[in-house]
Amino acid sequence: MNALALNEIVADYGTQRVLGPLSITLARGERVALVGRSGTGKSTLLGVMHQHWHRQGVALMPQELGLVPSLSVFHNVFMGRLARQPTWYNLASLVRPFRHDVAAIRPLLERLGIDDKCWTATGELSGGQRQRVAAARALYQQGDLLLADEPVSALDGPLSEVVMTALTQAYPTAVLAMHDVELALRFTERVIGIADGAIVIDAPSRTLRAQDLLVLY
Ligand SMILES: Nc1ncnc2c1ncn2[C@@H]1O[C@H](COP(=O)(O)OP(=O)(O)OP(=O)(O)O)[C@@H](O)[C@H]1O
């Protein structure tokens, strides 16, 4: 994967412009945090990135998670690779999972502390548990780039560390919308601050402190 670029993109809802025009280039091996007030355009920007780059092996962890509540944790994680496998295989797995897929998924669940929920329907889980299922699915999916929208918003301190560590180890190239600026600074190399659909900060994380980002809020 070479550098990923968006050039002068805009996004509108109806007649209202909510993003851009803005340009971003993302280097391979670069993890970027998108930070900014609620409603300022971070999710919209991640959506535009997904539209432009989805053919390049992108794992997406949307804010609303996109889980199927009636299916088990195992099956929701398994869905991370649906597109790569034949339909007969996916259908057979729905009825009776293959042993090697269970063996591949269990360690991810263990790492995220939800192994005991492997066969529980995701509709019966807490918000934090569901968020970890979505993280496990992103880990299982693999790919060149992770786009994640508030990936640890429902988790407390130690668990958010576990999930951020797992996601950033698996995806050296990533764009993460984050509301926790301390975490954003620790787990990314670059911070892009968004205000009213425009980039107002773009700087290496090591040059910033949390209070430098307060102007965004
Ligand atoms: N489906 C939609 N229809 C109309 N307007 C929308 C829609 N989705 C988002 N918007 C508007 O676009 C703007 C940007 O929203 P967006 O979800 O990208 O912000 P955000 O920074 O991700 O917010 P948050 O941190 O709360 O998730 C907001 O003003 C929002 O009201």
- pLDDT number for residue 1: 58
Q: Which atom of ligand 1 is nearest to the CA of 46?
A: 18
Residue at token pair 């700087």: 203
Residue 39 Cα to ligand 1 middle (Å): 5
pLDDT at 157: 87
The answer to whether the CB of 190 is under 6 A from ligand 1 is: no
User: Residue 41: CB within 6 Å of ligand 1?
Assistant: yes
- β 16-26/31-35 pair status: unpaired
Closest residue by CA, ligand 1 atom 2? 13
Which atom of ligand 1 lies at the shortest distance from residue 63's CA? 27
CATH top class, domain 1-57+143-217? alpha beta
Count of CB atoms situated within 10 Å of the CB of 23: 11
Distance (angstroms) between ligand 1 centre and the Cα of 51 equals: 16
Q: Which of 10, 15, 43 to mutate to test the pocket of ligand 1 (most atoms within 8 A of CB)?
A: 43
Give ∠ CA 19-7-191 in degrees, rounded to 5: 65
What is d(CA 208, CA 193) in angstroms, rounded to the nearest whole number?
Answer: 11
Predicted ipTM of the assembly: 0.95
> Would you say the CB of residue 13 lies under 6 angstroms from ligand 1?
yes
Comparing CA positions, the residue from 38, 47, 58, 36 lying closest to residue 12 is 47
CB-side neighbour CA atoms (13 Å) of 201? 24
Q: What is the mean pLDDT of each run of 10 residues along the chain (217 residues)?
A: 86 94 95 96 96 91 95 97 91 93 98 98 98 98 96 94 97 96 96 95 96 90
Q: What is the residue extent of each domain of the chain?
A: 1-57+143-217, 68-142
pLDDT for 128: 97
The pLDDT, as a whole number, for residue 2 is 65
The DSSP annotation for 83-116 comes to: GGS-HHHHHHHHHS--HHHHHHHHHHHHHTT-GG
- 42 CB near ligand 1 (under 6 Å): yes
Closest by alpha carbon to 208, among 41, 33, 37?
A: 33
